[in-house]
Amino acid sequence: MQKKPRNPDNFEIELDAQLCFAIYGAAHAFTRTYKPLLEPLGLTYPQYLVMIALWEEDDQPVKAIGDRLGLDSGTLSPLLKRLEQSGLVARKRDRDDERQVRISLTAKGGELRHQATGVAQAIGKAVGCSFDEAVTLRDELIALKQRLIKAGE
Amino acid sequence: MQKKPRNPDNFEIELDAQLCFAIYGAAHAFTRTYKPLLEPLGLTYPQYLVMIALWEEDDQPVKAIGDRLGLDSGTLSPLLKRLEQSGLVARKRDRDDERQVRISLTAKGGELRHQATGVAQAIGKAVGCSFDEAVTLRDELIALKQRLIKAGE
DNA sequence: CGCAATTCAATTGCGCACAATCTAATTACG
DNA sequence: CGTAATTAGATTGTGCGCAATTGAATTGCG
């Protein structure tokens, strides 16, 4: 894969686009790998992320979950309603600040954590690289994300 | 960031989940970075990917574009209709195999390529890492994607 | 105190992403 | 040859992801 100078009359995908495309593809590959593992739990991948956030710390406001996952209320409101309908979480207004809706795990939602342990193991196997490699890649991606966010002010 | 053995009664996000989450976040950061750059061109990011594919090789069947980008007809059909309505591409049945719909650039679609040169430059700047770093990261991601796909048979 | 600005969540609208299903065209095979 | 299997694309339905708007609650400031 050689790098040629940009030539508007002889277009090639630039490295930046290749990198972006590689991330795009890897992200989709991840969600596709998670899908069959999460299906028995009745969760989609973004719902699983929300459950992880709640397993780490129960009874959080929507805003806190959104900050953690980088999602806004337009995404979370319907998603949380579906989790509520599945009987995994409860939604109640904070008494001290009635603007906030606090999300808490139901007994069923808390127990799902045990069924989910197999998921991480299966993913670890599918990732198929060493611990150190995974750490490095994770940190590079986090750094890249930070630079992109910073570049966008 | 220390690694502790898995303990179902004291849950922590596993490295695999952290890696997945990092990719998820980086992918979103990329699309957010592209968004304001592509807006003046009247393109979304997936539409931009399709245009790149067509700038590389004009007059492709939907299937070929889908294979290139990892998208199916359920995603591409409406997307291509929008590109057609924007006057950037034309859709016509292949005469030799009427199952296929060939997508070709209009004059307007071809010219858009010149306006798009600034996009890659801006992304390159936002990515903010060296050429070698970007190459390495790209290749690691491609390898990871391949392993994930392979693990899913 | 009282009004303006801010914050939080919900809602609306648009555009992917993908499974499942459908139709039409082509190819394979007995 | 003719039927079955395959292939291409479109359609439908569900669920994100995000911008923009709304409405209610809270905070800040004169």
What integer pLDDT is reported at residue A150 of this predicted model?
83
Report whether B70 contacts B76 (CB < 8 A).
no
Q: Are B108 and B122 members of one domain? A: no
B127 to each of A90, B5, B29, B84, B85, how far by Cα in Å? 40, 35, 10, 31, 32
Q: Among the ranges B1-5, B18-22, B102-106, which has the highest mean pLDDT value?
A: B102-106
What integer pLDDT is reported at residue A20 of this predicted model?
78
Q: For residue B149, what are the contacts with CB-CB under 8 A and spacing of at least 6? A: A29, A32
Lowest mean pLDDT, pick from B13-22, B87-96, B121-130: B13-22
B150 to each of A89, A138, B27, how far by Cα in Å? 35, 21, 21
Taking each continuous run of H as one helix and of E as one strand, the counts in chain B are 7, 3
Q: Calculate how close chain B gets to A95, using CA atoms only, in Å.
A: 29
Which CATH number is A36's domain given? 1.10.10.10
Residue closest to C23, CA→C1'? Answer: B99
What integer pLDDT is reported at residue B16 of this predicted model?
73
Q: Is residue B24 part of a domain?
A: no
Q: Are B107 and B125 members of one domain? A: no
Distance CA B51, CA B68 (A): 12
Alpha helices in A39-130 (DSSP H): 45-56, 62-69, 73-85, 107-115, 117-127
Q: Is residue A148 part of a domain?
A: no
Residues from chain B that touch A35, judged by Cβ atoms under 8 A, are: none
Number of domains in chain A: 1
Mean pLDDT in runs of 10 for chain A (153 residues)? 37 68 83 90 95 94 94 96 97 94 97 90 83 86 86 73
Mean pLDDT, chain B, as a whole number? 86
Q: Do A152 and B32 touch (CB under 8 A)?
A: yes
For residue A40, give its domain range: 18-137
Q: For residue B98, what are the contacts with CB-CB under 8 A and spacing of at least 6? A: none
Residues from chain B that touch A22, judged by Cβ atoms under 8 A, are: 137-138, 141-142, 145
Residue closest to C13, CA→C1'? Answer: A74
Q: Are B124 and B108 members of one domain? A: no
Map tokens 């309505």 to a residue. B85
Q: Are B57 and B86 members of one domain? A: yes
Residue A97 has which token pair? 């600040």
B73: which nucleotide lies closest, measuring CA to C1'? D9
Instruction: Kindly report, residue by residue over B31-79, the tens digit of the pLDDT.
Output: 888 899 999 999 999 999 999 999 999 999 999 999 999 999 999 999 9
Residues from chain A that touch B66, judged by Cβ atoms under 8 A, are: none
pLDDT at B114 over 50: yes
Cβ burial of A33 (10 Å; 0-12, 13-18, 19+) is buried
Q: Calculate how close chain B gets to A109, using CA atoms only, in Å.
A: 14
Q: Do A151 and B125 touch (CB under 8 A)?
A: yes
What integer pLDDT is reported at residue B5 of this predicted model?
40
Instruction: Kindly report, residue by residue over A12-49, the tens digit of the pLDDT.
Output: 566 777 877 888 888 888 888 889 999 999 999 999 99
Supply the angle between the helices A131-151 and B15-38 in degrees, to the nearest 10.
Answer: 30
Q: Is residue B109 part of a domain?
A: yes
Q: Are B55 and B86 members of one domain? A: yes
When pLDDT is cut at 50, 70 and 90, the band that residue B13 belongs to is low
Q: Is residue B55 part of a domain?
A: yes
DSSP conformation class of B40: G
Q: Is residue B52 part of a domain?
A: yes
Residue A28 has which token pair? 């989709």
Q: Is residue B22 part of a domain?
A: no
A49: which nucleotide lies closest, measuring CA to C1'? D16
Q: Is residue A12 part of a domain?
A: no
Q: Are B95 and B131 members of one domain? A: no
Q: Are B96 and B48 members of one domain? A: yes
pLDDT at B17 over 80: no
Q: Are B90 and B103 members of one domain? A: yes
When pLDDT is cut at 50, 70 and 90, the band that residue B12 belongs to is low
Q: Is residue B108 part of a domain?
A: yes
Give the angle B13-B16-B22 at the CA atoms, nearest 5°: 85
